[in-house]
Structure 1
């Protein structure tokens, strides 16, 4: 008989072994890792199993997962029965169960592992998706039920953990809306148990720690969302905070109301790992509003296949401004009677395009352009190793952003800062009654 005080929000989780996958996401100090380790110990005391604990870097185990297991074993007064061996790191139980520790930075050592029926991926968002799939192949046993536990602090929605366990907008794969999990706290979808936790769920945390988390709201909103709220989202400075989506019919109505609309088409080239992206744009030059109302977003297409897909442009004669980095492709399209030209590029053109597009008062995108919304709605700047924003680099290869920039080649958006400076300049009128010099 073992008595152990635990946090109430984790009580059901400790003894729930009904699903193959258990995904825990939460903020700092929520005690999710502690309860995963405790859950594994209880299971291995009950059944003879081999459990594998994985982190991206092997050496990080000693001061994290291995140390956590040691702490719990000592706290439960089990150190005389359960042996914690430091070299190599391994934990052995009196019934023959054992816990082994591996890192994805040494994948060759995974190949020798056999009969693993339980795997824990700690900080799973740091592990690559290919590594996760490799580990699923290592999870096998002739008789025991298989389980994989994944725990992490939330990261950006572009991380594989979000795409796999929640939704992948580009590939149109939907499993669960993460907002539902934040509301329900625990959910079961198919063969996956979901668990969300925050610092409030850890009754053993000092109030001063929670106060420190609250302070992040003032100086680092992104970290506050992750650490305090335990939620996925956008990490970094948004490139287009004025970006908004609208129902397609409403977008077309708005475009039809523009007195003198400027219509443009932009295209970016891709093939295997990137996409051919083409956008139809409409600019309200008076109100400085950019509308995106049509998209083409495909990869793995040869030029002749793309020509068939875009045949409507050949028929309409619409002018396409495309990435000039592919002059052969543009020449091929022109020979097929497409009205296509290459965008003008110059040193610093990337930054110039970013600044130009940011000057629009509003960017309205049709909800029919799903890939554009996915890339641009939460697009952020890349950061350097010090965490500072790189103002001419984006965090992802946003093909629709490039298509938009090429389509607007040659068009200048009014710079409100320059306009304000002009209006603030003193006039050259001579004061009344003044003497002419």
Structure 2
């Protein structure tokens, strides 16, 4: 019999093996990693299994997961039943169970791992999505039930962990509203167990540590949300905070109600890692609202194949303003009946075009434009090494934003700061 004091919020989790996937997200110091290591040790003491513990970088195991397992074995007083061996790093059990440690920075070494029935991915948000899917393929055993445990601090909603386990706008996948998890703390959806925790759940933390977390609210709201509240969100400064998603029918209804709508179409070219992105947008010049109501978004497409798929533009002769960096492609489309011209590009045009779009009071995007939503709703500015914003650079390469730049090439949004000055009438003295 083993007697061990644990945090109450983790008691059920320690002995819950009902779901294949177990996803734990929480703030700093919540003890999710500690209780996961304890959970794995207890399981392997009970059953002969081989467990694989993974981090993105192999060497980070030594001072984190490996050290944690060694501490727990010592605390439990089970040194005769389990031993932490430092070179090479592994944990071996008297009953034949073992824990091996791998890093995704050397994926070739994963190929030699066999009969794994339990995988723990620590700091899973740092592992690439392709790596996660590769690990699922490594989870196989002829007899044992299979388990994968994932632990992480929440990061941006653009991270694969959020899109896989909660919501993915691009692929129209909805699994669980993260706000529901924050409220319930524990949830089960299908074959996945969810667990949310914060530092308040760790009764062994000193008050001084909690104060440090609370102090973050004043100087780093993003880190406070992650570290103290344990919640996903948008990290950094959003480029388009006025961006909203709206049902397609409502977008079209509002566009039809505009007395003099200005409709524009823009195209950004791409092939391998980039994308051919086409967006149709409508401007309400009176309200200064921008509506995005149609998109095309594909890569690895030659110009002739793209022309076939966009043939309606050749038929209607709808004007497309396109990326001026691709004159050869523009000429190809023109020769195939498209009304396509190059947008302007000049020194500082990225910044000026971005500022132009930011001047719209509201930007409404049809819920059918999944890729536009995927790129623009969470879009944030890149920063330099000192944390200063780069106003013409972003954390991703947003092809739909480039398409919008070109679409609005010949339209200027009134600078709202200048409007009061424009509206003032100069005082004039009347002469006789």
Which TM class, normalised by the smaller chain length?
A: over 0.9
Using the alignment, how far apart are the partners of 1:399 and 1:77 within structure 2?
57
1:383 aligns with 2:419: no
State how far apart, in whole Å, the 1-side matches of 2:284 and 2:115 are: 64
Bigger drift between 214-223 and 334-343 goes to 214-223
| Pair 1:214–1:361, CA change in 2 (3 A) | same
Residue 305 of structure 2 is matched in structure 1 by: 305
* Partner Cα distance (2:140, 2:81) in 1: 27
SS in 1 for 2:363: strand
Instruction: Write out aligned runs for 1:74-223 (5 A).
Output: 74-223=74-223
Equivalents in 2 of 1:261, 1:50: separation in Å? 64
- Pairing of 1:284-363 with structure 2 (within 5 A): 284-363=284-363
In the alignment, is residue 72 of structure 1 matched against residue 61 of structure 2?
Answer: no
Give the C-alpha shift of residue 429 in structure 1: 5.1
Q: Aligned equivalents of 1:247 and 1:112: distance in 2?
A: 49
Q: 1:421 Cα shift?
A: 6.1
Q: Unpaired runs of 5+ in structure 1?
A: 433-437
Aligned to 2:16: 16
Asked if 1:262 corresponds to 2:251, the answer is no
Sort the Cα spacing of 1:36 and 1:293 in 2 relative to 1 into closer, same or farther, 3 A: same
SS in 2 for 1:417: coil
Measure, in 1, the Cα distance between the counterparts of 2:24 and 2:149.
Answer: 8
Aligned equivalents of 1:389, 1:250: Cα separation in 2: 35
TM-superposed deviation, 1:261 = 2.5
For the residue of structure 2 that corresponds to 1:313, the secondary structure is helix
Which has the larger displacement, 64-73 or 360-369? 360-369
- Is 1:406 the counterpart of 2:409? The answer is no
Quote how far apart the aligned CAs of 1:251 are.
2.6
CA shift at 1:428, angstroms?
Answer: 7.5
Classify the secondary structure of the residue corresponding to 1:111: helix
Equivalent pairs, count: 432
With structure 2 as the length reference, what TM-score do the two structures score?
0.92
Please state how far the C-alpha of 1:423 moved relative to its aligned partner: 7.2
Q: Equivalents in 2 of 1:419, 1:349: separation in Å?
A: 23
Shift of 1:420: 5.1
Report the aligned-residue RMSD. Answer: 2.4
Deviation at 1:64, TM superposition (A): 0.9
Give the superposition deviation at 1:37: 0.3
Equivalent in the alignment of 1:238: 238
Residue 315 and residue 53 in structure 1: after superposition, are their counterparts in 2 closer, same or farther (change >3 A)? same
